[in-house]
Structure 1
């Protein structure tokens, strides 16, 4: 049996940032990651301004700048064969007026290297948490299984579940989940990008397809929305080339890439969920990030929200972890701090599902095929307050968390 002060399950952005923050506060921390590396394609690759601020505060700005990346500072939408500006991040407060598109594995590798330099930080790859360990009804750690089949236990003063929307730990704890129906799933795929293509983020809304294209330099990381649960039927009924043909019909500069997808194996399914735990904790266990609140991909804010959860967790709990006096009331403080941002963002996503996504998936929203700019879009572009609010909430979030002084290296 092994022991640590704080055991973090899940080596995604929330888990890795939390581990580094706590280790810099002198707290013994172990992060468990079930995979042998961080190489997963079509994971969220957006790094928002508040996370960029955190990276700077940790003294990692120069190292981060060396990672391959693109900066998204504009949103354009095709209308009637022409590109029209929709939004810009140039008006945002702070130093970072853009969203960085960085392969998530590169960011996590950077955090792993930096964490390895901290005496209190330990990362264990190929180690999957399979159940909770309890003592007198209190969570006291986890049981794990390694890739080679070995099993064991790690005990901890506090276990933090950062293991995503299908969290094994929140299920094992029996925490109640409130979920909302989502009208869509998403197909992720890549489209080659030419130097003559527009830059930034390009949403496409036509009678046949709603697609969001993220500029990744030499390719577009793209997501097309499909009706919930229709994946198998659509794959059986249509050739994969139909995706690109329908896109090129409304985005003329893609006409030379209608053969970009050669097989359905290049198209990955994201099962979209939107849910939230009623209570993010029980004695000895705290859930944050997607384990506490699975977010829709609308706005690409899930990672940003999870990282902000990690900052709040480190700031609120570090003193108690140092003195080994964490209580359930302390865990409740984390949820109280992070509940408002979660509710606001999920509320906006539910509104977008109803007003934009459901009509688009049903073919009732047809912006890109329109010959004239829709009136609603004109109003959105011309009234600064209306235009600025969505960009601000996506880029800066609600209640950005201050980085604790003990973790700063700037």
Structure 2
């Protein structure tokens, strides 16, 4: 049978069918998506001499990521990579050891990280874009690592039922990457997931988040705090550049209505929850200074097809609650590297290897998503409906549960560690 008949190209309906492929590259592992999952997996594989190509849709990493929180579990992986000291020395950051809930003048510790048995008993607050740039520069030290920026993946190549590569558009032309394994780490709206015909089992989330920043006074206490008011919830944490990063929790689909009410109404709602912000809300002048995150939760029933593995948000969309997204994504990458490194070296990646990655990570994902869903429904959703009548449940005030929640956020269930060997 000819190759033309063996192969099938899966494409978006909107995509143009290429007349000419400008070049065809071959690699052991093609990773689509240059977020935390993709770059950590690429770095570990490259350190072992595995040929890896990382395709990133954007031309640069200079865009506004919202996730800045790195839990202790991810910092321990940075230790294992031998990168922690260099990372913290080169990239501005801040730290907090508490995640607090504030309501009606009462503040309780929702998660106390200071008692964790780790070198990093805190949350590291670091701009995600800077983290990715740092890790990318580390990966570039290895000649078998290649980053292709501005690569918009629009087609999957399938041969005899196995995904054997991708086609992407860049600078107006079509290019092709052939690989033993394609890894989709391209986020919650994963184009590769759509091309592969894989659908998330979604769990309804009762809220969206509106992100923005306000100046922070130097004498204000640091930390991460969830602040409850009358039908209002604000999440605040200090950044290394002297600002408060703020997420206003809003009812699902309510953003358009907020815009019609005007920016002044948003300013007023902020002051109602945090009166001390009254002296600076005027800095929030335009909706362009805000960024809407539509909160989703869900996961795939199966994270893989022959020749294709989905990781991170592409496989399981997380809620922002607990600030665990980056950490759990990096843990996905470590598990994948542990399982797949030797098969990739041998050129023998089988379906059971891909299934093993999902099997080792799925329980931890189910646990954290279950906890996020419970908290959103039992606390956050009720707070958005209550007129100063909400009382924090007693179980939120128990120190033992605060410590347990911190461990869940920091490490998750059965946290992975790098098992493969490589030279620093």
TM-score class, shorter: over 0.9
| 1:300 partner SS | coil
2:121 alignment partner, one of 97, 121, 144: 97
Determine the C-alpha separation between the residues in 1 that align with 2:359 and 2:56: 27
Describe the shift of the 1:131–1:341 C-alpha distance in structure 2 as closer, same or farther (beyond 3 A).
Answer: same
Aligned to 1:40: 63
Runs of 5+ consecutive residues of structure 1 not aligned to the other structure: 368-373
| 1:140 partner SS | strand
* Equivalent residues of 1:26, 1:120 under 8 A apart: yes
Offset from partner CA, 1:207-227 (integer Å, 9 cap, x none): 131110011141011111111
* Equivalent residues of 1:244, 1:260 under 8 A apart: no
Aligned to 1:231: 255
* Equivalent residues of 2:258, 2:266 under 8 A apart: no
Once the two structures are overlaid, the 10-residue window that deviates more, 240-249 or 185-194, is 240-249
Aligned to 2:135: 111
Determine the C-alpha separation between the residues in 1 that align with 2:129 and 2:196: 29
| 1:247-396 alignment, distance < 5 Å | 247-363=270-386, 374=391, 376-377=393-394, 379-381=395-397, 383-396=398-411
Give every structure 1 segment of 4 or more consecutive aligned residues whose post-TM-superposition deviation is greater than 3 Å.
Answer: 76-87, 363-367
2:421 alignment partner, one of 398, 402, 406: 406
Aligned to 1:73: 97
Deviation at residue 385 of structure 1 after TM alignment: 2.2
Determine the C-alpha separation between the residues in 2 that align with 1:235 and 1:297: 23
Aligned to 1:88: 112
Once the two structures are overlaid, the 10-residue window that deviates more, 76-85 or 288-297, is 76-85
Deviation at residue 254 of structure 1 after TM alignment: 1.7
Aligned to 2:25: 2
Determine the C-alpha separation between the residues in 2 that align with 1:23 and 1:251: 47
Q: Does 1:142 align with 2:157?
A: no
Offset from partner CA, 1:188-238 (integer Å, 9 cap, x none): 0001100121211121111131110011141011111111111112211x2
Determine the C-alpha separation between the residues in 2 that align with 1:37 and 1:91: 38
Aligned to 2:148: 124
Describe the shift of the 1:107–1:366 C-alpha distance in structure 2 as closer, same or farther (beyond 3 A).
Answer: farther
| 1:54 partner SS | helix
| 2:119 partner SS | coil
Once the two structures are overlaid, the 10-residue window that deviates more, 184-193 or 52-61, is 52-61
Describe the shift of the 1:277–1:197 C-alpha distance in structure 2 as closer, same or farther (beyond 3 A).
Answer: same
* Equivalent residues of 1:71, 1:98 under 8 A apart: yes
Determine the C-alpha separation between the residues in 1 that align with 2:269 and 2:143: 54
Once the two structures are overlaid, the 10-residue window that deviates more, 76-85 or 345-354, is 76-85
Deviation at residue 80 of structure 1 after TM alignment: 3.8
Aligned to 1:371: none
* Equivalent residues of 1:138, 1:284 under 8 A apart: yes
* Equivalent residues of 2:95, 2:122 under 8 A apart: yes
Deviation at residue 271 of structure 1 after TM alignment: 1.2
Aligned to 1:151: 174
Q: Does 1:205 align with 2:228?
A: yes
Describe the shift of the 1:277–1:4 C-alpha distance in structure 2 as closer, same or farther (beyond 3 A).
Answer: same
Determine the C-alpha separation between the residues in 2 that align with 1:190 and 1:245: 15
Query: What is the alpha-carbon root mean square deviation over aligned residues?
Result: 1.7
Determine the C-alpha separation between the residues in 1 that align with 2:392 and 2:254: 32
Offset from partner CA, 1:103-139 (integer Å, 9 cap, x none): 1111111111111111221111111111211111210
Deviation at residue 250 of structure 1 after TM alignment: 3.6
Describe the shift of the 1:321–1:302 C-alpha distance in structure 2 as closer, same or farther (beyond 3 A).
Answer: same
Determine the C-alpha separation between the residues in 2 that align with 1:405 and 1:329: 19
Count of residue pairs the alignment pairs up = 399
Runs of 5+ consecutive residues of structure 2 not aligned to the other structure: 1-23
